Structure 1
Amino acid sequence: MKKLSKKLLLSGLAALTIYSGFNNIDISTTYAKVNYDVFDLEAHRGGRDVRPENTLYSYAYAIELGATSIECDMQLTKDGKIVMSHNPILNSDITRDENGNYIENNKYDIRLMTVDELKKFDVGVMDPNCGEYYDLHGKTQFTYDAKIPTLEELMQLIQSYGDKNIVSNIETISYPDPASAGYKNNADPKKFVEVFNNIVKKI
């Protein structure tokens, strides 16, 4: 993956375009110098409108682009591991099975699955037939064979770039409210935090 100079960044709309899309912007010509002391370039889900969200590809792209922080999301698996995913249920718009078919909606709950089971799915290609979601986020997205990464894999990726200044804005996705749609199978919050803390302490 070719590295970009940290002196080259997107122009004034950088944060907004990474967050919400590159649909109308030619990123090959919209670079500018940014003062890192006063400006935080945060890549939402790693920059999901350019690379598959919450994958090592999107996180690496954000770092190479010059992002100063990476926003991402965590789920706790059945075997007590943390994986990077915004939704607790595998998203049928971006997830394919081992045969390359897009999965059934609301069928696979990450919190009831092991990491090994999750690694069988591919989340690197958005379904072009998923409607508005594809129109908003998929048209400009590069495609890859991508697996759901673990938190350790994300931390190792950041370390591999030798960049100690990258801030990780990591969301602990939890649904403690019984009225919430995600309440069923919600991970125990205390265990979630303990697992996260143990991983961070080892890094």
Structure 2
Amino acid sequence: MTSQPPITIQRLTWLRWSCTTAVGLSLWCAGAALAFDAQGHRGARGLAPENTIAGFEQALAIGVSTLELDVVLSANGVPVVSHDTAPNPDITRDASHQWLKSRGRPFNTLSLDEIASFDVGRINPGSRYARDFASQRPVDGERIPTLAAVFKRVRTLRADHTRFNIELKHNPNRPHESPEPAEFVRAVLEVIQQHGMASRTTIQSFDWHLLREVHRVAPDMPLSHLSAQRERFDTLRSGVWTDGLKLASFEDAPSMVAAAGGKLWSPHFQDLSQPVLTRARALNLRVIPWTVNEIPDMGRLIDWGVDGIITDYPDRLRTVMQRRGMELPPAMELPNDKQAEGVPPPVREPAPFGVAPDLR
């Protein structure tokens, strides 16, 4: 490793606050001080089926401080955990155990029973997705969980240290596949409050209109402004994703986030440089990039001083953190019955390198 001059690492910490929302929810948001936030992306997508109970259990067994997950609404307005606004044929089998041939009907047109009929316990072996995530171990029979079911399972496992980073999935270019922002936000906030998870939750989205709606309803709910400046996915240029704001009107991405009222910025990790991070610090932004899967990238970003990392491979991130003498989140022991059911055991060593992260 090439020697480098010492870097002064500055990380912002969670603050304490109390909040009362406009929907009559009384919340005490007591964020614990976190020097570094190790987030398991969709649970532990590189190792276990994404956005499933088995995947979240795998992440907890490895040891993360935050479970990152995605939420959409069913036809009857129940928050369910899915990265896509419609069933993804790369990971979805129907009730007859056949792989979907194409994207299914949007989740906001499907009942809970219809959603529960899908098996999302493995990747279609003929897909590029399977090649990209060759280390993922299948858990056949895994279903798309409701957000409430995730909260209940975390409670049952007594993972009281674990936070949640919940992404509201809404594509402004496909508005018919998502509920209206007010309905979406209210449904998610109600489940968060019903399960007593307000003090442990951040809400994130690429669609900053939704974040504005969250702030209107629950002004003290922590928010994360997601962004991407990729060739095939640029959310900052047109204003469609960013509630009318356009990058051309600002000095840089951090100033754009600050103008939107952001306190936490989550950019694609390749959009981040040390000067850009320094600029974000000057604007008092916390910075947690996504989705960082290779050990050299993790090490570089940690040395720059990011506040956390979102990764498909929390085992690799723990290795990097341990090498630097950083405090590690607790690794949980799964109940014996879960091991017997085939949930992958915790991975203690880094998985093979070379997995390219896809766009969120």
Shared fold (TM-score greater than 0.5)?
A: yes
Among candidates 157, 167, 175, match of residue 161 of structure 1: 157
- Superposed structure 1 runs of 4+ greater than 4 Å apart: none
Alpha-carbon separation, structure 2, partners of 1:96 and 1:108: 14
What's the CA shift for 1:83? 0.3
In our comparison, the structure showing a higher alpha carbon Rg is 2
Among candidates 67, 73, 77, match of residue 80 of structure 1: 77
Residue 191 of structure 1 aligns with which residue?
A: 183
Residue 125 of structure 1 aligns with which residue?
A: 122
Residue 5 of structure 1 aligns with which residue?
A: none
SS at match of 1:64: helix
SS at match of 2:175: coil
Alpha-carbon separation, structure 2, partners of 1:101 and 1:124: 13
Among candidates 28, 52, 67, match of residue 49 of structure 2: 52
Residue 146 of structure 1 aligns with which residue?
A: 142
CA contact (8 A) 2:72 2:82 kept: yes
* TM-score in terms of structure 1 length: 0.76
SS at match of 2:59: helix
Alpha-carbon separation, structure 1, partners of 2:65 and 2:99: 34
The reply to whether residue 171 of structure 1 matches residue 128 of structure 2 is: no
Among candidates 47, 57, 61, match of residue 58 of structure 2: 61
What's the CA shift for 1:37? 4.7
SS at match of 2:189: helix
What's the CA shift for 1:108? 2.3
What's the CA shift for 1:162? 1.1
**Alignment size in residue pairs:** 162
Q: Which runs of 5+ in 2 are unaligned?
A: 1-32, 196-360
Question: Which is worse superposed, 102-111 or 46-55?
Answer: 102-111
Alpha-carbon separation, structure 2, partners of 1:104 and 1:184: 21
- What are the Cα deviations for residues 135-183 of structure 1, in whole angstroms up to 9, with x where unaligned? 111x1111111000000000011111212221100001113x3xx1x22
- What are the Cα deviations for residues 107-150 of structure 1, in whole angstroms up to 9, with x where unaligned? 3211110111110110011111012x21111x111111100000
Alpha-carbon separation, structure 2, partners of 1:87 and 1:113: 13
Residue 35 of structure 2 aligns with which residue?
A: 38
SS at match of 2:177: coil
Q: State the Cα RMSD in Å.
A: 1.4
Alpha-carbon separation, structure 1, partners of 2:86 and 2:190: 25
CA contact (8 A) 2:89 2:99 kept: yes
